[in-house]
Amino acid sequence: MKKLFLTTMIFLSMVLVAIGLNAQTAETHLNQIDLHKQYLGTWRSQIKDTVAIVTYTAYGKGGMQASGKVSTKGKVFYQYRQLWAYDKNSNTMLGMHFDKTSPSVMLYSACFISKTESETVQLIIRDASHIEKGNELWKEVFKSKDLIIQTYMKDNKTVKVLTFMRVK
C-alpha cells in the first residue's frame, strides 16, 4: 500500500507540474505545510438534520489524513478517508479520497492562495495519458482558527456553502 501510495503521489506531482496547476508565483510563495496545519482537529457542519464531521490528523512529515462521515438523524450515509501529502515541486498538497461505498478513488490538488484561503481542485485520470482538471472546486476561507466557510462549486457555479466549526 505504501509503495502504491508513493508511486501515485510521485506520478501526480509530475502531472501537476506538467499541466500547470500551480497557481502561485515566486512573489506569493506561501508555506503550504504550515497553512494546512490549520485543518488539524475535528470539524463539524450541520444543515437541518444533516451533520458532517471530519477529523484531520498529522501524517508523516508535511502530510495529513482525514476521516469523515455525514449522517442524518443519527444514521450515517456517507463515510470517507483521505490522505494528503505535500509536493515541493508544485508547492501544493496532493490528496487521495477513498469513499467507503465506492471502489473509485478521487484525486485532488489543494493550495492556499492567501494565508486564510485555500482552493482544492479535482483531478480526473481517464488513463495514463489523459489527465485533466475536474469540474469541481472547493474554496475554503478560515474566518478564524475555529471557523471555516467552505464553498463547493461545480461547473463554476456554487452548489452549496457549508460552515465548519472546530469541535476539538
| Per-residue pLDDT in tens (0 to 9) along the chain, 168 residues | 555 444 444 444 444 444 444 444 444 689 999 999 999 999 999 999 999 999 999 999 889 999 999 999 999 999 999 999 999 888 999 999 998 888 778 899 999 999 999 999 998 876 667 777 888 999 999 999 999 999 999 999 999 999 999 998
SS3 19: helix
pTM of the model: 0.78
Distance CA 31, CA 36 (A): 9
Q: Counting Cβ atoms within 10 Å, is residue 162 exposed (0-12), middle (13-18) or buried (19+)?
A: middle
Domain that holds residue 103: 2-166
Q: For the chain, what is the domain count? A: 1
Cβ atoms of 90 and 32 closer than 8 Å = no
**CATH number, domain with residue 50:** 2.40.128.20
Distance CA 87, CA 22 (A): 11
